[in-house]
Amino acid sequence: MTTVQLTSKDFKSNLKPIWCPGCGDFGVVQGIYRALASIGRPPHEIAFVSGIGCSSRIPGYTTAYGFNTVHGRALPIAQGIKLANPELLVLVAGGDGDGFSIGGGHVPHAIRRNPDLTYLVMDNQIYGLTKGQLSPTSACGLKTVTSPHGAIEHPVNPLLYVLSYGAGFVAQATPADMAGMTAIIEEAIRYPGFSFVNVQSPCVTYGEDHQQVKAHRTAMKTLASMGHDPSDRMRAFELASHYGEQLYTGVFYRNPNPPPTYGALVKERQAALAGGLPRERILESFIQR
């Protein structure tokens, strides 16, 4: 692992993004470039994994190793990569549909294993790539091509979802605040364990219009300005419960005592087995944690 002086351009590939003009993902990928430049890991030490959807194109727009997987399966692939090469910095990108619909069952298992990877979800409350269908985070009453009379389902709350399963780092950002979003992404990457960032990245084609996108900045409230203590998990739950009502940005929860990552525990188990310790002693030491 090396740390060198890098700039955003070092992470920008020659591929031209093909998102709709005004898409929030343009801002997100710029924030990722800047965060990675601050981290200082060269592109060949980074693996970027994604599923299917507009935001899942991001790995191709970076100079890091990229793996565009099948729908909803980005997290299992990312965990496998991290186990196979623990020294890689592993990032995962996806949308609300990819992460909380077909891929929703993988999220809690990634959290409970606690691999050292960062999961960035671009949450636009719509299926943008497949022409505007209802998504898991779409608001109740929303009219789409699959809910012409208005959605009758209640939306998934991504923040409560990951908090309730025990994620050690949970944050929310928006490209309407580029500096704030970049700082949050960087902090998530630096967190030693599974980190989750829900990015309110609006879809201007099938979701919000440009005026609503501009309104994000005025509607936004930063948790830091409110004096929120990110080590207060119960308060994080309370604030996260306002998803869809109030746009809070910042770190909702950061575990002040991060538990060992899955990779660290695997290394420890391997060392114990190689040292010839009885299996009963090895199992006992892990259970006592």
Q: What is the full per-residue pLDDT of the chain (289 aa) written as tens digits?
A: 776 789 999 999 999 998 988 888 999 999 999 999 999 999 999 999 999 888 889 999 999 999 999 888 999 999 999 999 999 999 999 999 888 988 889 999 999 999 999 999 999 887 877 777 878 888 888 888 888 888 888 999 999 999 999 999 999 999 989 999 999 999 999 999 999 999 998 888 887 655 565 666 678 899 999 999 999 999 999 999 999 889 999 999 999 999 999 999 998 888 888 877 666 665 666 565 6
Q: Is 3 within a domain?
A: no
Coil, helix or strand at residue 33: helix
pLDDT reported for residue 278: 67
Q: Is 212 within a domain?
A: yes
Same domain for 266 and 229? no
> CB–CB of 101/123 below 8 Å?
no
Going by the DSSP 8-state scheme, the letter that residue 5 receives in this structure is -
Same domain for 279 and 227? no
Same domain for 233 and 277? no
Same domain for 285 and 175? no
Residue 143 CA to residue 277 CA, distance in Å, equals: 61
Q: Is 2 within a domain?
A: no
Same domain for 217 and 75? yes
Same domain for 242 and 286? no
Residue 170 CA to residue 181 CA, distance in Å, equals: 13
The amino acid at residue 135 is S
Q: Is 24 within a domain?
A: yes
Same domain for 118 and 37? yes
The CATH number for 97's domain is 3.40.50.970
Domain range for 45 is: 8-256
Same domain for 235 and 143? yes
Burial class (CB in 10 A: 0-12, 13-18, 19+), 108: middle
Coil, helix or strand at residue 245: coil
> CB–CB of 248/232 below 8 Å?
no
Instruction: State the total domains in the chain.
Output: 2
Q: Is 238 within a domain?
A: yes
Same domain for 134 and 47? yes
Q: Is 1 within a domain?
A: no
Coil, helix or strand at residue 210: helix
pTM: 0.92
The amino acid at residue 281 is R
pLDDT reported for residue 170: 98
Same domain for 128 and 265? no
Q: Is 114 within a domain?
A: yes
Which residues on adjacent β-strands are paired with residue 62? Answer: 12
Same domain for 285 and 207? no
Q: Is 213 within a domain?
A: yes
The amino acid at residue 252 is F
pLDDT reported for residue 283: 61
pLDDT reported for residue 281: 63
pLDDT reported for residue 214: 60
Same domain for 129 and 40? yes
